[in-house]
Amino acid sequence: MEAKAKYNERPWLKFYPEGVPANIEIPERSLPEVFDEVTSKYSDKTAIIFYGNRISFKELRQDVDRFATALYELGIEKGDKVALYLLNSPQFIIAYFGALKAGATLTPISPVYTSVEVKHQLEDSEAKSIVCQDFLYDNVERTGVELKNVILTSIGEYLPVSKKLAGKSVLGRVYRKMEVPSTRILERPGFHQFQKLIKKYPSNPPKIEIDAKEDIAVLPYTGGTTGLPKGAVLTHYNLLACQMQTQAFWPIFEEGKEVIPAFLPFYHIYGQVVVMLNGLIQGSTLILFTTPDLDDILSAIESYRVTAFFSVPTMYEYLKDYDKTGRVNWKRLKMITCGADTLHESTVNDWERRTGTRILEGYGLTECSSVSHANPLGRPKVGSFGVPLPGIMAAIVHPETSEFLPPGEIGELVIQGPNVMQGYWKQPEETRETLIELDGKIWLRTGDLVRMDEDGYFHFFDRKKDLIKYKGYSVFAREIEEVLYQHPQVKAAGVLGIPDPKVGQVIKAIVVLQTEARGKISEEEMIKYCEERLAHYKVPKIMEFRGELPKTDVGKVSHRELREELEET
């Protein structure tokens, strides 16, 4: 009970910036309601800049309303599932809010998914309609899933004339194997062209009654640590709660005055909620990128006077060594933040030396609508992902017994708050294992091994699934990876345990060297490097060099794929 009392005291509150409340009241409003309010308030202001094409909030609202009308006329009813298989584009935003206005539930699909993965998500979510990038449709066709409506769109539909050819050539390089289907495909029953629907139907969306706490807004699928991805049930209330929590925690942002680059993928919960949803609901201007081209992003930061930068560790790794990064006056930005993966201290320190600014690390999960923790402005701790946002309770419990552990001890992070999902779609057993009752309250088990220090800052150690047991010792893969990343010639690293009957698990490190170091550094030299910096039981017994490592769709090393690869061999 004493350990639990420490969390109830919420020691992190004393580090909140001035004016940030401990709790906030979340109104029971739907996302379309909030969208309509902001688009009316800022009707003449630019909502989106898409490779030079400016779209005002008024124009965005008109297209959203027209698309909502189209979906209604196509037979979409409240609760129907609509899949979005799109790159970052105005069409994603229009389809997102348009489908919500029609009362539908959205399930965004990663553009890098194979047809097998697309099939699983379409079938599991029960989606009968899809809004699809035209050159991605071949993957949908190969699934064999029967769909009532297929709405195809071209990336060029909202590009300026001067950019259309360039846009297609860029996508051609990124998605080499994809081909745009023949226009004859639109003659099939149930097939439609996005822009024609927008032009055909009036700006007269249906009046759908939405229960913010009960009606599902989005079914994003989490990669998970084992098995097939699962749909996290997020209501309108969950998503609005997360938006309001981040807004309250970062009071430096002024409504209607921010300019934010939007290159993080919208199908991923981080880009979808923190950038797209938060940005538009606060009346910000989004500079939209289909692909994260470094030159385009850096140029936009200066040209459009960007005020905040949201990114992932991989991007900072690239930028800290990129020759054009120094052209940007990073000190002018209000905030530079990072999420979606562990931010290595070496990256933080190199970035600060290069730009004179500090990256604020945050933490979140799909299951908590994207964000639960962040470093307070002006009071960051290197190596910590920060403190809980307003209205969120967090604690550390024993991974097996679920007993509360005192500050300083490593255990599983559990979270409670209005942004926490309702459960996993059609997965009652998984839901019971993840949403647990402690002292009469429901907590989300994150699966992450974390500790809270005496100040209430939280520090990540590893995923439970990535914990390595060697001769009775608990070894955190992330700690070894942190040491490897400090080596100047290490570009990427992944550490995992190989089952061994004598010692439990043997530690193996898989390393990608910088190009100039390949063939010049041996596996033995890298092991010796680790021996000088790690306790004997933490030193990898096997060191393997590769040209690349499998990555998740937000650019972090995929330990799940490394484990699956190990199981196969």
Contact between 435 and 442 under an 8 Å Cβ cutoff? The reply is: yes
Residue ranges of domains in the chain, CATH in brackets: 2-26+232-462 (3.40.50.12780), 56-209 (3.40.50.980), 471-568 (3.30.300.30)
| Model confidence pLDDT, tens digit, residues 87-120 | 999 999 999 999 999 999 999 999 988 898 899 9
162 in helix, strand or coil? helix
Instruction: pLDDT band for 268, please (50, 70, 90 cuts).
Output: very high
Give Cβ neighbours of residue 177 (< 8 Å, ≥ 6 apart).
Answer: none
pTM, 2 dp: 0.86
Among 458, 480, 438, smallest CA distance to 11 is for 458
Give Cβ neighbours of residue 495 (< 8 Å, ≥ 6 apart).
Answer: 466, 468, 477, 478, 480, 481, 484, 507, 508, 509, 510, 540
Instruction: pLDDT band for 166, please (50, 70, 90 cuts).
Output: low
Q: How many CB atoms lie within 10 A of CB 566?
A: 13
- What is the length of the chain? 569
Q: How many CB atoms lie within 10 A of CB 122?
A: 23
pLDDT for 225 equals 41
| Model confidence pLDDT, tens digit, residues 404-459 | 999 999 999 999 999 999 999 999 999 999 999 998 899 999 999 999 999 999 99
Please tell me the distance from the alpha carbon of residue 388 to that of residue 456, in angstroms, as a whole number. 9
Q: What is the mean pLDDT of residues 128-138?
A: 95
- Averaged pLDDT score across all residues of the chain: 91
| Model confidence pLDDT, tens digit, residues 41-60 | 999 999 999 999 999 999 99
pLDDT for 254 equals 94
Q: How many CB atoms lie within 10 A of CB 507?
A: 24
* 26 vs 557: which has the higher pLDDT: 26
The count of C-alpha atoms lying within 13 angstroms of the C-alpha of 477, restricted to the half-sphere facing its C-beta, is 28
Residue where the block lists tokens 């809004």: 131
Alpha helices in 327-464 (DSSP H): 345-355, 428-434
Instruction: pLDDT band for 482, please (50, 70, 90 cuts).
Output: confident
Instruction: pLDDT band for 554, please (50, 70, 90 cuts).
Output: low
